[in-house]
Every structure is written in C-alpha cells, then in structure tokens.
Structure 1
Amino acid sequence: MRASRAYAATAVACAAVGLTAPTAFATNGPGNVTVNPYSVHQGSTISIAATGCGHGGTVTSNAFPQASLSAGSKGYASARINNHATPGHYNLAVKCNDNAMVATHQFTVLAGRGAHGGLGGSLGPSDTDVAVGAGLVASAALGGALFVARRRHAASGRS
C-alpha cells in the first residue's frame, strides 16, 4: 500500500516536470542587454550578455563583425571592435534565433589601441584559491590540536 502511494507521487512529480519543461525554453525575445566595457578602444574586445534567447542568437553592429550569442537563460557573446572603427557612439542589435524581436544597446568606441596591462590585482581569489586556503587552515588547526593533545598527555604521564 505504501509503495503504491510512493509510485503514484513519483509519477505525478515526473508528469509535472515533463509538462513544464517545454515552457522553460519559451522566449519572449531578447532583453536585459548589457555591454562590458561600455567604452572600448579600437581593436579591443567587448562582451555582450542578453536574456531571453534560449536557443541562442546573433549580435550585430557597424563597429564589429557579427557575433554568435550562446544559448541558455542568459546568452553571452564577445566581439572584437574593428581597428578602423570611427570613434564615437554605436548601437548593437541582439536578435534571437527563435524570435523576430530585436533589442539594442549603445556603446562607445574610443580612439587608439588602449593599454595592454595586466590584471594588477583587480581580481579576487578564485574558488580554487579559497579551497586550497581552507584546506591549509584546517590541516594547520588539526595539526596544532594533535600537538597540544600529545604534549598534555606526555606531561601528565611524567608526574
């Protein structure tokens, strides 16, 4: 009796997931378009992100060749600004593969090539750095605790 209830509950849950899965990729067209950096030098790379293109899309502009937008709930693309792009304001257009709607965003092209410097400490620690650090702290604490416990045990055995 209990097994049949569990099977029934599992079947209902699977049916609910199966019926809602097709709507997970339904799109209303591109939206929330972001550009990073907003001001970019000639010949540099610009990153574009947009939501609403579950099956990917394209990004076009007069300042760079057409770029592909990745599929997913939030799509990403990167494009290299043409070396000969005239400095000034440009628009880019994001179009989904499964929708005719287009979203636009403005960005600025700056004159010159810009500096090719390093990161200069502008990034925080990565997940790997944090995991290694936490492991080292934990092993140091364990080693210290064992050292103190053995020392107490040895000191109490002499008296």
Structure 2
Amino acid sequence: MRASRACAATALACAAVALTAPVASATNGPSSVTVNPYSVHQGGTISITAHGCGHGGTVTSNAFPQASLSAGGKGYASARINDHATPGHYNLAVKCSDNAMVATHRFTVLAGRGAHGGLGGSIGPSDTDVAVGAGLVASAALGAAVFVARRRNAAGGRA
C-alpha cells in the first residue's frame, strides 16, 4: 500500500512538472530592446539586443534587410544599414518566433562619410607638369651621354 502511494505521489509530481514546463518556456514577447550605436552612418552596422525571445525571432526595418535574432534569454542581431538609406529617423521592429507581440525601437541614419581623396589623377597633366618632365628626361639623357663619352675616352687611351 505504501509503495502504491509513493508511486502515485511520484506520478503526480512528474505530471505537475510536465504541465508547467510549457508555461516556463513560453515568453511574454520582446522587451528591453537596445540599439548600438543609436546613430549610424549609411553602410554601417548596427547591433540589436532584446530580452524575452527564448526561441529567437526577427528584426525588421526600412533601413536594412531582415535580420535574425538569436535564441536565448537575451537575443542578439546585427544588421548592415543600406548604402542608400535616406538619412533620418527609423524604427525597427523585433518579433519573437514563438509570440505575435512586437517591440519597436528608434534609431538614426546619418549621411555616409565618403572619402575625400581629391582629384587624384582624374585630370590630365598641366603644361608646367609636361615642361618639368621633359626637362628631367633631357637632363638624364645628357648626363648619360657625358658618362658614355668619358668612358670611351678612358678606354681608348689605354689601348
């Protein structure tokens, strides 16, 4: 009799644990969404974190392609801002895989910082550049001719 009561108590305890397990794994939806950096340049990368998406989820915005949120107590995602995203304020939306709730967060896209490299050969040489170059080539040719002439005279006198 005691054994049957012990087995019944054990079965009841196992059933209670089994019934509460799905409740424990369910989430209340995304919360505590953070964005780093808050202001990002076109073509830059933004990091997103959110709590409450135990099975992962997605992050969407008009400024970047959809990104996947990792599973766990604190989910992470990373997204590259489109090169041609219009500078201004944007919202992103975090949606858990196992929940229909959505959390949003605001961030700012700044104008891209293109390289300021100057003209860098995009225009032809000026007349002064051509004259200086021609003078250097002529000087080198004259110096070579003098060197060869002196070498011939030195070799011719020995023979």
Identity fraction in percent: 85
Instruction: Please tell me whether residue 111 in structure 1 is matched to residue 80 in structure 2.
Output: no
Cα separation, 1, equivalents of 2:113 and 2:56 = 31
Change (3 A) 1:114 1:71: farther
For 2:155, the equivalent position in structure 1 comes to none
Instruction: Please tell me whether residue 63 in structure 1 is matched to residue 60 in structure 2.
Output: no
For 1:152, the equivalent position in structure 2 comes to none
Give the C-alpha shift of residue 99 in structure 1.
0.7
Structure 1, gaps ≥5 residues long: 1-10, 116-159
Find the residue that maps to 1:24 and give its secondary structure.
Answer: helix
Cα separation, 2, equivalents of 1:46 and 1:77 = 8
TM-score normalized by the length of structure 1: 0.59
Structure 2, gaps ≥5 residues long: 1-9, 116-159
For 1:48, the equivalent position in structure 2 comes to 48
For 1:35, the equivalent position in structure 2 comes to 35
Rg (Cα) greater in structure = 2
Find the residue that maps to 2:23 and give its secondary structure.
Answer: helix
TM-score normalized by the length of structure 2: 0.59
- What letter corresponds to residue 31 of structure 2 in structure 1? G
Cα separation, 2, equivalents of 1:74 and 1:41 = 26
Is the 8 Å Cα contact of residues 44 and 113 (structure 1) preserved in structure 2? no
Cα separation, 2, equivalents of 1:92 and 1:48 = 9
Change (3 A) 1:76 1:114: farther
For 1:92, the equivalent position in structure 2 comes to 92
Is the 8 Å Cα contact of residues 59 and 69 (structure 1) preserved in structure 2? yes
Find the residue that maps to 1:76 and give its secondary structure.
Answer: strand
Superimposed CA distance per residue, residues 108-144 of structure 1 (whole angstroms, 9 cap, x where no aligned partner) = 00111389xxxxxxxxxxxxxxxxxxxxxxxxxxxxx
Cα separation, 2, equivalents of 1:96 and 1:114 = 36
Question: What's the RMSD between the two structures over aligned residues?
Answer: 2.6
- Superposed, 1:66-85 pairs within 5 Å as 66-85=66-85
Change (3 A) 1:17 1:48: same
Count of residues in correspondence between the two structures: 107
- What letter corresponds to residue 74 of structure 1 in structure 2? K
Give the C-alpha shift of residue 60 in structure 1.
0.2
Change (3 A) 1:114 1:107: farther
Is the 8 Å Cα contact of residues 26 and 98 (structure 2) preserved in structure 1? no
For 2:25, the equivalent position in structure 1 comes to 25
